[in-house]
A and B are shown apart, each in its own frame.
Chain A
Amino acid sequence: MTTIRLLDPAEATGRAQAIFEAVLLRERKVFGATAVSNVWRCMAHVPEYLEANWNRSRALMQRGRFTPLQRELIAVAVSAANRCHY
Protein backbone atom coordinates (compact mmCIF):
# COMPACT_ATOMS: atom_id res chain seq x y z
CA MET A 1 0.00 0.00 0.00
CA THR A 2 1.27 3.43 -0.77
CA THR A 3 1.61 5.73 2.22
CA ILE A 4 0.40 8.67 0.20
CA ARG A 5 -2.35 9.24 -2.33
CA LEU A 6 -1.00 9.43 -5.86
CA LEU A 7 -2.01 12.69 -7.44
CA ASP A 8 -4.35 12.08 -10.36
CA PRO A 9 -2.89 13.79 -13.43
CA ALA A 10 -6.37 15.20 -14.12
CA GLU A 11 -6.13 17.14 -10.81
CA ALA A 12 -2.78 18.68 -11.66
CA THR A 13 -2.68 22.36 -12.49
CA GLY A 14 -0.05 24.88 -13.50
CA ARG A 15 3.54 23.72 -13.29
CA ALA A 16 2.65 20.16 -12.22
CA GLN A 17 0.30 19.75 -15.15
CA ALA A 18 2.96 20.93 -17.60
CA ILE A 19 5.52 18.56 -16.11
CA PHE A 20 3.09 15.63 -16.20
CA GLU A 21 2.58 16.30 -19.89
CA ALA A 22 6.33 16.32 -20.49
CA VAL A 23 6.78 13.16 -18.40
CA LEU A 24 4.09 11.31 -20.32
CA LEU A 25 5.57 12.40 -23.63
CA ARG A 26 8.96 11.00 -22.66
CA GLU A 27 7.63 7.83 -21.07
CA ARG A 28 5.46 7.07 -24.08
CA LYS A 29 8.50 7.40 -26.31
CA VAL A 30 10.86 5.44 -24.06
CA PHE A 31 8.70 2.52 -22.99
CA GLY A 32 5.26 2.95 -24.47
CA ALA A 33 3.60 4.22 -21.29
CA THR A 34 -0.04 5.23 -21.51
CA ALA A 35 -0.17 7.12 -18.19
CA VAL A 36 2.22 9.10 -16.00
CA SER A 37 4.05 6.57 -13.83
CA ASN A 38 3.52 6.46 -10.08
CA VAL A 39 6.97 7.71 -9.13
CA TRP A 40 6.13 11.12 -10.59
CA ARG A 41 2.58 11.19 -9.29
CA CYS A 42 3.72 10.67 -5.69
CA MET A 43 5.93 13.77 -5.79
CA ALA A 44 3.37 16.07 -7.36
CA HIS A 45 1.72 17.15 -4.09
CA VAL A 46 4.63 19.57 -3.89
CA PRO A 47 5.06 20.78 -7.48
CA GLU A 48 8.46 22.35 -6.73
CA TYR A 49 9.70 18.93 -5.66
CA LEU A 50 8.34 17.29 -8.80
CA GLU A 51 10.00 19.97 -10.89
CA ALA A 52 13.37 19.66 -9.14
CA ASN A 53 13.50 15.91 -9.72
CA TRP A 54 12.17 16.16 -13.25
CA ASN A 55 14.89 18.69 -14.07
CA ARG A 56 17.49 16.32 -12.64
CA SER A 57 16.00 13.44 -14.60
CA ARG A 58 16.28 15.41 -17.83
CA ALA A 59 19.81 16.56 -17.04
CA LEU A 60 21.06 13.15 -15.96
CA MET A 61 19.04 10.68 -18.05
CA GLN A 62 18.62 12.51 -21.35
CA ARG A 63 22.00 14.19 -21.81
CA GLY A 64 25.49 12.86 -22.10
CA ARG A 65 27.69 10.61 -24.17
CA PHE A 66 26.15 7.29 -23.28
CA THR A 67 23.09 5.82 -24.93
CA PRO A 68 19.77 5.83 -23.05
CA LEU A 69 20.14 2.05 -22.72
CA GLN A 70 23.57 2.41 -21.12
CA ARG A 71 22.19 4.84 -18.56
CA GLU A 72 19.21 2.59 -17.91
CA LEU A 73 21.55 -0.35 -17.22
CA ILE A 74 23.14 1.68 -14.44
CA ALA A 75 19.76 2.77 -13.11
CA VAL A 76 18.54 -0.83 -12.86
CA ALA A 77 21.78 -1.99 -11.23
CA VAL A 78 21.61 0.73 -8.57
CA SER A 79 17.92 0.07 -7.92
CA ALA A 80 18.63 -3.63 -7.55
CA ALA A 81 21.49 -2.96 -5.13
CA ASN A 82 19.17 -0.70 -3.13
CA ARG A 83 16.55 -3.49 -3.12
CA CYS A 84 14.08 -1.05 -4.59
CA HIS A 85 10.99 -2.93 -5.69
CA TYR A 86 9.62 -0.08 -7.74
Chain B
Amino acid sequence: MRLGLDEAGVTELLAAAEHAHALAVVAAALLLDGLGSKGGLVELVDPLKARDEVAGTLADIEALARNALGVEVVPAVWRALAGNPFYLDATWQKERVLMADGRLTALDKRRVGLAVAMNARVRYWIEYHAAVLRHAGGTDADLLEILGVVDHYNSLNLITTAMQIESDIRPPAGH
Protein backbone atom coordinates (compact mmCIF):
# COMPACT_ATOMS: atom_id res chain seq x y z
CA MET B 1 0.00 0.00 0.00
CA ARG B 2 1.60 3.25 -1.09
CA LEU B 3 -1.26 5.60 -1.67
CA GLY B 4 -0.54 8.52 0.57
CA LEU B 5 -3.93 7.91 2.19
CA ASP B 6 -4.37 7.94 5.94
CA GLU B 7 -5.68 4.89 7.77
CA ALA B 8 -9.30 5.96 7.43
CA GLY B 9 -8.80 6.48 3.70
CA VAL B 10 -7.28 3.03 3.26
CA THR B 11 -10.13 1.52 5.29
CA GLU B 12 -12.66 3.34 3.10
CA LEU B 13 -10.99 1.93 0.01
CA LEU B 14 -11.00 -1.64 1.28
CA ALA B 15 -14.56 -1.21 2.56
CA ALA B 16 -15.75 -0.13 -0.89
CA ALA B 17 -13.89 -3.04 -2.49
CA GLU B 18 -15.22 -5.56 0.02
CA HIS B 19 -18.77 -4.24 -0.29
CA ALA B 20 -18.67 -4.29 -4.11
CA HIS B 21 -17.30 -7.83 -4.04
CA ALA B 22 -19.97 -9.00 -1.61
CA LEU B 23 -22.74 -7.49 -3.76
CA ALA B 24 -21.24 -9.05 -6.88
CA VAL B 25 -21.58 -12.44 -5.20
CA VAL B 26 -25.16 -11.54 -4.23
CA ALA B 27 -26.21 -10.57 -7.76
CA ALA B 28 -24.65 -13.71 -9.22
CA ALA B 29 -26.27 -15.85 -6.54
CA LEU B 30 -29.65 -14.25 -7.24
CA LEU B 31 -29.17 -15.11 -10.93
CA LEU B 32 -29.69 -11.49 -11.97
CA ASP B 33 -28.43 -11.38 -15.52
CA GLY B 34 -28.17 -7.64 -16.00
CA LEU B 35 -29.38 -4.25 -14.85
CA GLY B 36 -32.69 -4.84 -16.66
CA SER B 37 -33.16 -8.24 -15.08
CA LYS B 38 -36.77 -9.20 -14.37
CA GLY B 39 -35.78 -11.61 -11.65
CA GLY B 40 -34.05 -14.87 -11.15
CA LEU B 41 -33.74 -16.96 -8.04
CA VAL B 42 -36.34 -15.03 -6.05
CA GLU B 43 -39.23 -12.74 -6.86
CA LEU B 44 -38.47 -9.03 -7.27
CA VAL B 45 -40.65 -7.16 -4.79
CA ASP B 46 -42.84 -4.55 -6.47
CA PRO B 47 -42.21 -1.25 -4.61
CA LEU B 48 -45.85 -0.25 -5.11
CA LYS B 49 -47.11 -3.38 -3.42
CA ALA B 50 -44.36 -3.68 -0.82
CA ARG B 51 -45.10 -4.31 2.82
CA ASP B 52 -44.60 -1.39 5.19
CA GLU B 53 -41.30 -2.77 6.54
CA VAL B 54 -39.59 -2.35 3.19
CA ALA B 55 -41.62 0.38 1.47
CA GLY B 56 -39.63 3.21 3.09
CA THR B 57 -36.28 1.70 2.22
CA LEU B 58 -37.35 1.03 -1.36
CA ALA B 59 -38.53 4.64 -1.69
CA ASP B 60 -35.15 5.79 -0.37
CA ILE B 61 -33.39 3.56 -2.91
CA GLU B 62 -35.59 4.85 -5.73
CA ALA B 63 -34.67 8.45 -4.89
CA LEU B 64 -30.98 7.60 -4.89
CA ALA B 65 -31.28 5.60 -8.12
CA ARG B 66 -32.90 8.60 -9.77
CA ASN B 67 -29.93 10.73 -8.79
CA ALA B 68 -27.14 8.28 -9.42
CA LEU B 69 -28.47 6.24 -12.34
CA GLY B 70 -31.01 8.59 -13.84
CA VAL B 71 -33.70 5.90 -13.78
CA GLU B 72 -37.15 5.86 -12.22
CA VAL B 73 -37.02 2.29 -10.99
CA VAL B 74 -35.63 0.48 -7.99
CA PRO B 75 -32.72 -1.64 -9.26
CA ALA B 76 -33.46 -5.37 -9.30
CA VAL B 77 -30.87 -6.35 -6.70
CA TRP B 78 -32.59 -4.27 -4.03
CA ARG B 79 -36.04 -5.50 -5.02
CA ALA B 80 -34.81 -9.07 -4.69
CA LEU B 81 -33.34 -8.45 -1.24
CA ALA B 82 -36.63 -6.84 -0.17
CA GLY B 83 -37.98 -10.34 0.35
CA ASN B 84 -36.09 -10.15 3.66
CA PRO B 85 -36.56 -6.70 5.24
CA PHE B 86 -33.63 -7.07 7.65
CA TYR B 87 -31.29 -8.16 4.89
CA LEU B 88 -32.41 -5.29 2.65
CA ASP B 89 -32.10 -2.66 5.40
CA ALA B 90 -28.70 -3.72 6.66
CA THR B 91 -27.26 -4.03 3.16
CA TRP B 92 -28.73 -0.77 1.90
CA GLN B 93 -27.45 1.11 4.98
CA LYS B 94 -24.01 -0.29 4.28
CA GLU B 95 -24.25 0.82 0.63
CA ARG B 96 -25.31 4.34 1.64
CA VAL B 97 -22.58 4.77 4.22
CA LEU B 98 -19.70 3.18 2.30
CA MET B 99 -20.38 4.51 -1.19
CA ALA B 100 -20.91 8.15 -0.19
CA ASP B 101 -18.28 10.90 -0.28
CA GLY B 102 -15.69 10.53 2.44
CA ARG B 103 -11.93 10.64 2.26
CA LEU B 104 -12.49 9.17 -1.20
CA THR B 105 -15.13 10.67 -3.44
CA ALA B 106 -18.30 8.73 -4.24
CA LEU B 107 -17.18 8.54 -7.88
CA ASP B 108 -13.79 7.12 -7.00
CA LYS B 109 -15.56 4.49 -4.91
CA ARG B 110 -17.85 3.76 -7.84
CA ARG B 111 -14.79 3.23 -10.07
CA VAL B 112 -13.43 0.83 -7.47
CA GLY B 113 -16.82 -0.91 -7.47
CA LEU B 114 -16.74 -1.28 -11.24
CA ALA B 115 -13.20 -2.66 -11.11
CA VAL B 116 -14.19 -5.24 -8.51
CA ALA B 117 -17.32 -6.22 -10.49
CA MET B 118 -15.26 -6.57 -13.68
CA ASN B 119 -12.75 -8.67 -11.79
CA ALA B 120 -15.57 -10.86 -10.46
CA ARG B 121 -17.06 -11.01 -13.99
CA VAL B 122 -20.53 -10.15 -12.70
CA ARG B 123 -22.59 -8.59 -15.50
CA TYR B 124 -25.24 -7.14 -13.20
CA TRP B 125 -22.82 -4.97 -11.22
CA ILE B 126 -20.64 -4.15 -14.20
CA GLU B 127 -23.76 -2.63 -15.78
CA TYR B 128 -24.84 -0.98 -12.51
CA HIS B 129 -21.54 0.72 -11.64
CA ALA B 130 -20.90 1.64 -15.29
CA ALA B 131 -24.37 3.22 -15.51
CA VAL B 132 -23.60 5.37 -12.44
CA LEU B 133 -20.29 6.47 -13.94
CA ARG B 134 -21.82 7.23 -17.32
CA HIS B 135 -24.61 9.19 -15.69
CA ALA B 136 -21.89 11.30 -14.04
CA GLY B 137 -20.25 11.92 -17.42
CA GLY B 138 -18.00 8.87 -17.73
CA THR B 139 -16.97 7.82 -21.23
CA ASP B 140 -15.85 4.63 -22.97
CA ALA B 141 -12.27 5.84 -22.47
CA ASP B 142 -12.85 5.96 -18.71
CA LEU B 143 -14.28 2.45 -18.65
CA LEU B 144 -11.35 1.14 -20.68
CA GLU B 145 -8.91 2.88 -18.36
CA ILE B 146 -10.47 1.13 -15.37
CA LEU B 147 -10.49 -2.20 -17.21
CA GLY B 148 -6.82 -1.71 -18.10
CA VAL B 149 -5.83 -1.46 -14.44
CA VAL B 150 -8.01 -4.48 -13.56
CA ASP B 151 -6.42 -6.46 -16.37
CA HIS B 152 -2.85 -5.44 -15.54
CA TYR B 153 -3.22 -6.23 -11.84
CA ASN B 154 -4.72 -9.61 -12.63
CA SER B 155 -1.48 -10.31 -14.48
CA LEU B 156 0.72 -9.06 -11.67
CA ASN B 157 -1.35 -10.75 -8.95
CA LEU B 158 -1.14 -14.09 -10.74
CA ILE B 159 2.59 -13.98 -11.29
CA THR B 160 3.46 -12.83 -7.76
CA THR B 161 1.08 -15.33 -6.14
CA ALA B 162 2.16 -18.24 -8.35
CA MET B 163 5.83 -17.52 -7.71
CA GLN B 164 5.12 -16.75 -4.05
CA ILE B 165 6.98 -13.49 -4.27
CA GLU B 166 7.31 -11.83 -0.89
CA SER B 167 6.19 -8.25 -0.71
CA ASP B 168 9.04 -5.80 -0.47
CA ILE B 169 6.83 -2.73 -0.47
CA ARG B 170 6.97 -1.45 3.09
CA PRO B 171 4.80 1.16 4.76
CA PRO B 172 6.58 4.45 5.38
CA ALA B 173 8.61 4.74 8.59
CA GLY B 174 6.49 5.41 11.65
CA HIS B 175 3.70 3.01 10.60
Task: Give the interface of A toward B (CB within 8 A).
Answer: 1-4, 6, 30-33, 35, 37-39, 42-43, 53, 56-57, 59-61, 64-66, 69-82, 84-86
Contact = CB atoms under 8 A, between A and B. Distances in A.
A82 B119 contact: yes
A64 B163 CA distance: 30
A39 B13 contact: no
Interface string B1-30: 111100000000110111011000000000
Contact of A77 (B4, B112, B145): B112
A interface secondary structure, majority: helix
Interface residues of B, number: 45
B167 A86 contact: yes
Contact of B3 (A37, A53, A69, A78): A69
Interface of B: 1-4, 13-14, 16-18, 20-21, 104, 108, 111-112, 115-116, 119-120, 141-142, 145-146, 148-157, 159-169, 172
B154 A86 contact: no
Given A56-B155, A72-B2, A73-B13, A78 B169 contact: no
